[in-house]
Amino acid sequence: MKSLLLGEHRLPTPPAGDPAFAPLEDPRMYWPVQRARLAKTVREGAQSLGVPVECGLLRLWQYNLPGAAWVERIGLPRRAVELTLGDQLILHVNPNDLVRATHWQGWPHKHRPNSSAFIWDGEWDLRRGDLRQGSRTRFIEDIDAHRDDLSQSEAFAKYMARLKAGKPWSSHQQGILLDSEARILTFLKVYLSFMDDMAIRGFDSTRGKDMLGVAVTREGRLLKINRGLHRLAMAQHLGLPSVPVMVKAVHRQWWERVVGETRGQIALDKVGATLRNCVPESRSGALDPGGVVQAA
């Protein structure tokens, strides 16, 4: 990825940088990118230090040592479970069936599950958004419909409105600043290129920062969580038959129903085997706030 000069500074590689966005990197984003890189370094450092501890906690639970019940009660350390189960957590689903997602907007943080845990308590799985009505789906449909003249797209109008208001859109994660009409059009063309590449080569799970994440509800169905909503929207728009997703968490009620009184590797093996039967959730939830996944 090319470097840009800012006086004596070079724009460092953005944390979520993609070579396709290199023409849009702007030296004025130097300090926001530096702060994002520092935050990422600190976060990854803390995670790397925590993994050995988490693996130790999981082993304590696996061998039913003193404190095992407590480890399960706090949800089991997610990263240690991921290392143990590996590819058993990766499922292949039809993207057009994966239409429901966890909806955190307006949900008090105290009610949200701990992202470091693999077993999630609470009613998070009853609060679902409909991805078909989400902003990413509209964005992908919009730019594809106006690919011959992106200046007529709703997305172009939105970014131009921010520019005219003196608040051009920027991304410290990607080092991008959309402060001109040309940059906005280039930005939209990059997303079109991603979609066209996916149409030709299929879904590339390594293209994004993370795999598409899902969580298993109390009923054993899959809800979309975290990142990758643009990539999922592209796969849905293109009608791809299958995409890989990774199970990041399961509801405690599902967990208890699957593992019963078992512990350790036997319990994990039961989870891995049962996950193969999990399919995406399509229905609304009892606590849905209107059923729409809003833009982050």
Q: How far is CA 236 from CA 4, 94, 143, 240, in A?
A: 36, 8, 15, 6
CA distance 75 to 115: 10
> Token pair of 150, please?
């992106």
DSSP letter at 211? P
Instruction: Please give the Cα distance from 277 to 279 (Å, whole number).
Output: 6
What the block records as the tokens of 101 is 């997602």
**Tens-place pLDDT, residues 139-167:** 999 999 999 999 999 999 999 999 999 99
pLDDT given at position 18: 79
> Is there a contact between 240 and 95 (Cβ–Cβ < 8 Å)?
yes
DSSP-assigned letter for residue 102: E
Cβ atoms 127, 103 nearer than 8 A: yes
Percent of the chain with pLDDT over 70: 89
Q: In one letter, which amino acid is 31?
A: W
Mean per-residue pLDDT over the chain, rounded: 88
- How far apart CA 244 and CA 212 sit, in angstroms, is 7
Spatial separation of the C-alpha atoms in residues 73 and 117, rounded to whole Å: 10
Instruction: Inform me whether the pLDDT recorded for 296 exceeds 50.
Output: no
| pTM, two decimal places | 0.86
Rounded average pLDDT over 12-39: 76
Asked if 121 contacts 277 with a C-beta cutoff of 8 angstroms, the reply is no
Q: Which residues pair with 117 in a beta bridge?
A: 77
Token pair 């057009």: residue: 96
Element (H, E) at 129: strand 128-130
Strands 279-280 and 221-225: parallel
Residue 93, strand partner residues = 243
Strand partners, 221: 279
Residue with the bigger pLDDT between 31 and 51: it is: 51
Beta strands 100-102 and 128-130 are antiparallel
> Would you state the pLDDT for residue 1?
39
User: Stretch 212-226: mean pLDDT, rounded?
Assistant: 95
Looking at residue 267, its pLDDT comes to 96
Mean pLDDT value across residues 83-106: 94
Q: Is the pLDDT confidence value at 208 over 60?
A: yes
Lowest mean pLDDT of 68-72, 114-118, 171-175, name the range. Answer: 171-175
Q: Is 127 left (phi over 0), alpha (psi -120 to 50) or beta?
A: beta
**Beta strand spans in 156-264 (E):** 170-171, 176-177, 212-216, 221-225, 243-251
Structure tokens at 108: 């008090």
DSSP state of 175: T
And the tokens for 211? 């795999």
For residue 294 the two structure tokens come to 């809003």
- Pinpoint the alpha helices (H) of the chain: 30-62, 68-73, 78-85, 135-145, 154-164, 181-201, 229-238, 252-259, 264-275
- 209 to each of 20, 135, 157, 178, 180, how far by Cα in Å? 14, 20, 28, 22, 27
| Residues comprising the chain, all counted | 296
Residue type, 105: Q
Quote the CA–CA distance of 103 and 112 in Å, as a whole number: 10
Q: Average pLDDT in the 188-216 region? A: 91
